[in-house]
Amino acid sequence: MAILAGAAALAYRLRFGNADLSLEYLRAIAHTLVFALLILNGSSLYRSWRGRGLVAEILKLTAQWALLFVVLLVYAAALKLTGDISRIWALGWFGLSLCGAVALRVGVRSAAHWVRERGLDLRSAVIVGANPDAQRILDTLRRSHWAGIRVRGWFATHADRGQLTGVPMLGGLDNLGGYVESSHIDQVWLALPMHEQAKISFALTQLEHSTADVKYLPDLFGMRLLNHSVDSFLGLPVINLRSSPLEGEARVVKAAEDKLLASLILLLISPLLATIAVAVKLSSPGPVLFRQLRHGRDGKPIEVWKFRSMRVHQEHEGQVTQATRGDPRVTPLGAFLRRTSLDELPQFFNVLQGTMSIVGPRPHAIAHNEHYKTLVDHYMQRHRVKPGITGWAQVNGLRGETDTLEKMAKRVRYDLFYLQNWSLAFDLRIIAMTVLKGFFGKNAY
């Protein structure tokens, strides 16, 4: 509240040269403070951020701050108050107050880190069960002193897969309740397989009279989870083990990003498209565009367009032969287009059609998908989103021929990483990397 009010006064002084706020501005500030109490307190900003990243916190703060000022703008427009308020002042107020709020959070985090690294403001924790996931979180907590969580030890169960190293074993599951209560433990991490419901229920029963936070770390070792989350369905709690990263608002944002950028890019490169089209037509007999069926979102067939880079030839039915170094089918112009990825420019029309995205896993030929889906783990999961003109795998050098199984497996790992970590900022980062280094590739034949 103090930052909001102080930033408003500072923005007024910078805009008008004095701090004598008029009645209209005082009303706007008062209304904003009321909206802030409703909007910010209703968010997760004032819950514990211990152990969570600073970037996520700042993004959440920025989103809530933007919502606050949008609500203020709508309110002012509804009451026809916008003519009485300086837009420059309002913009300055938003920027100054957001910077102040971010600075406050960074300062508080820095102070908390400093204090926790010196043994203060700590939370004690114990782990129930032993598996690779539990060991990973234990090692992470031991390295991350700034999180202020100290693991006292672990409790063994009959469902364990090995032992935890680095902390002592405190006993069996029967000893859990007494230890947590007598030692005033703050957090209990349950690292048990999902099928051990009886043991999970027994542990919760032991903790019935404890005020410790209980966190469940299911033993999902070996599973490939995609955008897993906890959700409510028809009033029942469910855990999503696999789901598309682009649903709801994210799908709308992705579609708007694709349509806007594709339209702008096509407008800018239209002379280049015309030049390449003429050059392809003159280079060898055949059509300008090469059309091929690929798998799109949810595995549905789509037609992908490229500038033709090979001489017209006939493939055996159901077979698609990848281009190799020195491939005689590739024309000299085609080799240049493939090396520079200029042959893929017509795919911006696919983006406008809605069958592709600018960023996403590259679409493979259907014959390749049928071949690799049984050889590479989780291969078809990459089709949970629309295929892209460029992708995380491509900007990391995984372009062109996949002459070994390991190359394809590595490309799939990068594609799945993209699915698990999608965001608008990640897309823009990949586009920027494509512009800077992604046009040329030594493996693109």
pLDDT value, residue 59: 87
Give the number of other Cβ atoms within 10 Å of residue 119's Cβ.
10
What pTM was computed for the model?
0.54
Residue in this structure with the two tokens 């059609």, named with its chain if needed: 353
How far apart (Å, rounded) are the C-alpha atoms in residues 130 and 137? 11
The β-bridge relationship of strands 229-233 and 236-240 is antiparallel
Rounded-to-10 torsion of CA 429, 356, 310, 441: 10
pLDDT value, residue 445: 44
Indicate if the alpha-carbon torsion angle 165, 170, 176, 177 is positive or negative.
Answer: negative
DSSP 8-state code for residue 362: P
Q: Are 222 and 236 in contact (CB under 8 A)?
A: no
Q: Under DSSP, is residue 390 helix (H, G, I), strand (E, B) or coil? A: strand
Question: Which domains, and CATH codes, for the chain?
Answer: 2-116 (1.10.274), 123-222 (3.40.50.20), 249-438 (no CATH)
How far apart (Å, rounded) are the C-alpha atoms in residues 177 and 207? 5
pLDDT 10s digits, 67-80: 888 888 887 777 77
Q: Report angle CA 391, 345, 366 to the nearest 5 degrees.
A: 60
Bridge partners (DSSP) of residue 301 are 295
Q: Are 300 and 387 in contact (CB under 8 A)?
A: no
**If phi over 0 gives left and psi between -120 and 50 gives alpha, with beta otherwise, what is residue 317?**
beta
How far apart (Å, rounded) are the C-alpha atoms in residues 361 and 389? 8
305 Cα distance to chain centroid: 28
Residue in this structure with the two tokens 């919502």, named with its chain if needed: 67
pLDDT in tens, the chain (445 residues): 899 999 999 998 998 888 788 888 888 888 888 888 888 776 777 776 666 677 888 888 898 888 888 888 887 777 776 667 788 888 898 999 999 999 998 998 888 888 877 778 788 999 998 888 788 888 888 887 777 888 999 999 888 888 898 899 999 989 998 999 888 888 898 888 877 888 888 998 888 878 788 888 776 554 556 666 666 555 655 666 666 667 767 788 888 999 999 999 999 999 999 999 999 999 888 899 988 888 888 778 899 999 998 887 666 555 555 555 667 788 888 888 888 888 889 999 999 999 999 999 988 878 888 888 888 877 888 888 899 999 998 888 887 666 688 888 899 999 988 988 888 889 999 999 988 875 554 554 4
**Average pLDDT for the chain:** 82
pLDDT value, residue 226: 62
pLDDT value, residue 141: 82
CA distances for 217 relative to 128, 188, 284, angstroms = 9, 10, 61
Q: Under DSSP, is residue 125 helix (H, G, I), strand (E, B) or coil? A: strand
Residues comprising the chain, all counted:
445
Residue in this structure with the two tokens 């008029």, named with its chain if needed: 22
How far apart (Å, rounded) are the C-alpha atoms in residues 141 and 433? 33
pLDDT value, residue 430: 92
